[in-house]
Amino acid sequence: MAYLDRDEETICALTTGAGHSGVAVIRVSGPDSFARVKQLCSFLPEQPESHRLYYGLLKDRTQSSAIDEVLVSYFGHGRSYTGEETCEISCHGNPVLAAQILSELVSVGCRPAERGEFTFRAFLNGRIDLVQAESVLALIESSSKKAAQLSLDQLQGQLSQLFRAIEEDIVWILSRIEAEIDFSTEGLEIIQKEVLLDRLEKLLASIEKLITSYDVGRLITDGIKIVLAGKPNAGKSSLLNALIKSDRAIVSPKPGTTRDTVDVIYKVNGLTATLTDTAGIRQTEDEIEKLGVERSLRALQASDLVLYIVDANDLEVDHLSDMEQLKAQSTIVVLNKVDLVSGEKLKSLREKLGQYLSVEVSATLGTGLEALESKIAAHFRLESTDETTVIIHARHEKNLKLVHEALVRARRDFLDQMSSEFICLDLREALSGIGKILGRGLGEDVINLIFKDFCIGK
C-alpha cells in the first residue's frame, strides 16, 4: 500500500458487514467525494452542510434508472473520520444493492478502498496516531467485553497520552543534558544531577509497569488458554460441560473416553478463554489413545493455566508426581466428585493433597464451580487491572522494551559519569523508540504491515 499520492484519490467501500441487514453504509472519502456522489444522487444540493443528512433516490450514472432510496450524510473536509471530505450513503442492507452502488461509484471515478485505508487516512491526516489506529482494529476484533473496553479507552487516547508523557520526560532530560554540553565546560552540577536521576528512575519505573501490563493485556485480547488435565476418568469432560453449561464433551464411566482435544469458548468474568478438554494422561498401548496423550501434553505446554482434576473417589492413583511435574506451570488443583466421598475420606484426601489442593467441586452436582471461577479470575489478576494502563499490542511491548534498554544504558553511563554525549545518544534512541510507537518516523513497510490486518471498509 504505497501512500504517496494516495489521498488525492477518492475511495469507496462498504463499511458495514456483508450480508443482509436493515441498512448498509457505503463510505466515500477523498477530495472529490461529494462531487462523485452527486453524480449519482442528483437530489443533493450544490452547497451541502457538514453533518447533515439528505434523502432521495440514488440512480445509475446516466440517471436513467433508480437503484435505491438512500440517505446521504455529508462531512466536510477536516470534520470526518478520515479528515477528508466524506459522504456516507446509507442504503438498504442487501449485498447486491451495495455492490451495484459501489460499481456505479467506481464508474464515476472512485477507487475501491484497500484494507484499513479509511483509518490509514485518518492517521496520515493526523486525526489519530498509530496507537489509536491500532485500537480501532482491536475494538472491531475484540472478543470480550473487557477487551472492547480497553480498546475504546485507547482509541480515545488514554494510552497515547501516556506514551506522550514518557516522550516529554525523555525530551526534558535530554534537553538539560544537551544544554550542559553546549553551555558548560564543567559538566552537570551536583544538584541538577540528582534531579535528573530522580526523573529517570521514575520514568523507568513507569515504563516497567507498562511492560508488565502486557502479561495481562495479551491475555485479555488473545484470550486465555485453560487446559483441563488429569488421569483418565477424573471428570475432566464433566467439568468442562459444567463450566460451559452445555453437553459439549462426551462423558462416560469408561476411562479413556476423550481421545482428541476438545476446544470450547468459555466466558469468565467478562473475559474470553479457550477451555481445552484433553485425553487423560496414562501409559497406554492403544495407538489412538497414545496420540491423544501426546496432544494432551502439547496442549498443557501451550496453556496459560492448567486445571488439574483429581478424582476424590480414586485414592489409589498417585497424583502427586503429576503435580510435581506441573509445578513449572500455573496450575489449579481441583478435587472432583466430592459428592461420592464421606466427610472422613475427604479429610484424609485434604491431608494427602496438602498444599496442592485449591478447590473442591462436584462436576455432576455443580457445587464449588463459583469458587473455582473466582480462583481462575484471581489467577489472572483480572479484578485488580488498572484498565487504562494496559498495553495489548506486541508492537508496543517490543518497542517499550527497546526504550527501556536505552534508558537503562543512559542511567548506567550517567552514574559512571561518562561523557554527556554518550548519555544523549541513548536518550535519543529511547526517544525514537517511543516516537515509533506513536507512528512517527516509521518506514512505509512497517505502516503497511500494521494496516494490512484491517478489513476492507475500516
Ligand X SMILES: Nc1nc2c(ncn2[C@@H]2O[C@H](COP(=O)(O)OP(=O)(O)OP(=O)(O)O)[C@@H](O)[C@H]2O)c(=O)[nH]1
Residue ranges that bind ligand X, judged by CB under 6 A: 230, 232-238, 251-253, 255-258, 279-280, 336-337, 339-340, 362-364
| Element housing 382 (H / E) | none
Quote the CA–CA distance of 187 and 184 in Å, as a whole number: 6
Nearer to Mg ion, 192 or 257 (CB): 257
Q: Which stretch binds Mg ion (CB under 5 A): 29-37, 112-120, 171-179, 257-265?
A: 257-265
140 CB neighbour count, 10 Å cutoff: 13
Q: Amino acid letter at 428?
A: R
Q: Interface with Mg ion includes 257 (CB under 5 A)? A: yes
Q: Quick one: cell of 443?
A: 518506514
Closest contact distance (angstroms) between CB of 130 and Mg ion is: 46
Encode burial over 380-408: b for 16+ CB neighbours within 10 A, e otherwise. Answer: bebeebeeeebbbbebbbebbebbbebbe
Quote the CA–CA distance of 135 and 131 in Å, as a whole number: 6
Quote the CA–CA distance of 115 and 253 in Å, as a whole number: 52
Nearer to ligand X, 107 or 284 (CB): 284
Task: Please count the residues of this chain forming the interface with Mg ion, following the rule CB under 5 A.
Answer: 4
Q: Quick one: cell of 343?
A: 466427610
Nearer to ligand X, 360 or 413 (CB): 360
Touching Mg ion, residues 173-202 (CB under 5 A):
none
Task: Give the CA distances from residue 121 to residues 24, 160, 443, in Å, rounded to whole numbers and listed in that order.
Answer: 22, 18, 16
Nearer to ligand X, 216 or 279 (CB): 279
340 interacts with, out of ligand X, Mg ion, none, CB within 5 to 8 A per kind = ligand X
232 interacts with, out of ligand X, Mg ion, none, CB within 5 to 8 A per kind = ligand X
Closest contact distance (angstroms) between CB of 380 and ligand X is: 24
Nearer to ligand X, 48 or 280 (CB): 280
Nearer to ligand X, 223 or 232 (CB): 232
Q: Pick one of 10, 29, 221, 258: the residue that binds Mg ion (CB under 5 A).
A: 258
Q: Pick one of 119, 142, 154, 237: the residue that binds Mg ion (CB under 5 A).
A: 237
Closest contact distance (angstroms) between CB of 293 and Mg ion is: 12
Quote the CA–CA distance of 133 and 442 in Å, as a whole number: 14
Nearer to Mg ion, 158 or 261 (CB): 261
Nearer to ligand X, 254 or 386 (CB): 254
Q: Interface with Mg ion includes 261 (CB under 5 A)? A: no
135 interacts with, out of Mg ion, ligand X, none, CB within 5 to 8 A per kind = none
Quote the CA–CA distance of 96 and 36 in Å, as a whole number: 21
By beta carbon distance, the residue nearest Mg ion is 258
Nearest alpha carbon to residue 101 among 14, 10, 8, 20: 14
Touching Mg ion, residues 67-126 (CB under 5 A):
none
363 interacts with, out of ligand X, Mg ion, none, CB within 5 to 8 A per kind = ligand X
Q: Are 118 and 83 in contact (CB under 8 A)?
A: no
Nearest alpha carbon to residue 309 among 290, 348, 280, 335: 335
The angle, 0 to 180 degrees and rounded to 10, between the axes of the packed helices 130-141 and 117-124 is: 160
287 CB neighbour count, 10 Å cutoff: 8
Closest contact distance (angstroms) between CB of 372 and ligand X is: 12
Closest contact distance (angstroms) between CB of 249 and Mg ion is: 6
Quote the CA–CA distance of 118 and 105 in Å, as a whole number: 16
Closest contact distance (angstroms) between CB of 241 and ligand X is: 8
Closest contact distance (angstroms) between CB of 309 and ligand X is: 6
157 interacts with, out of Mg ion, ligand X, none, CB within 5 to 8 A per kind = none
Binding-site ranges for Mg ion (CB under 5 A): 236-237, 257-258
